[in-house]
Structure 1
Amino acid sequence: MPVISRFYGIIIRMYFLQSEHNPPHIHAIYGEDVAALEIQTGNIIEGYLPPKAKALVQEWMSIHRDELLNIWETQNFKSLEPLE
């Protein structure tokens, strides 16, 4: 699962087997906590993140939403800028 970005101890990854992993989403890992977040809404669809980490991931996703959807649709991996 390629790493898309890293910031504030959070690792963002994406699987590239779309047919088995809908709706479009990313995986965020923060320490022992792991969650899948839907790209369109930013909602957690599986797992758990502490509230502060969840808010940071959702902010990052709002900045990169179009790029994330493009990566999901084309399966062309690229790294995205971290949240600063």
Structure 2
Amino acid sequence: MPEISSFYGIRVTMYYRDHQPPHFHAEYGDDEIVIVISNLTTYAGSLPRTAHRLVLQWAAKHQEELATLWSLAQAQQPLGKIAPLS
């Protein structure tokens, strides 16, 4: 699963040809969450409160890029990186 960003110990990934709805995965320690790109809601899993807030803050800044990467992943094209939260 390609890593598309990493910040503050959070690893953000996206699977090739993953199921709908368009989403990304974020891992922090042993916890994982799946976030829907279109509305930034939780599809599955959970993260500690601070990590969850950071992921949503990052995703809000990069929502268009996430949608583009989802399209690339569905077409099995190389995924670039998205800038980390700074």
TM above 0.5, yes or no, is yes
Number of aligned residue pairs: give it: 82
Alpha-carbon distance between aligned partners in 1 of 2:43 and 2:49, rounded to the nearest angstrom: 15
- In the other structure, the counterpart of 1:73 is 71
Over aligned residues, Cα RMSD in angstroms?
Answer: 0.9
TM-score (norm: length of structure 2) = 0.90
Q: Choose 73-82 or 5-14, whichever is displaced more.
A: 73-82
- In the other structure, the counterpart of 1:3 is 3
Question: Which residue among 32, 35, 42 is the counterpart of 1:34?
Answer: 32
Displacement over 2 Å in runs of 4+: none
Alpha-carbon distance between aligned partners in 2 of 1:44 and 1:81, rounded to the nearest angstrom: 22
Structure 2 stretches of 5 or more lacking a match? none
2:81 matches 1:83 = no
Q: Secondary structure at the match of 2:12?
A: strand
- In the other structure, the counterpart of 1:62 is 60
Identity %: 40
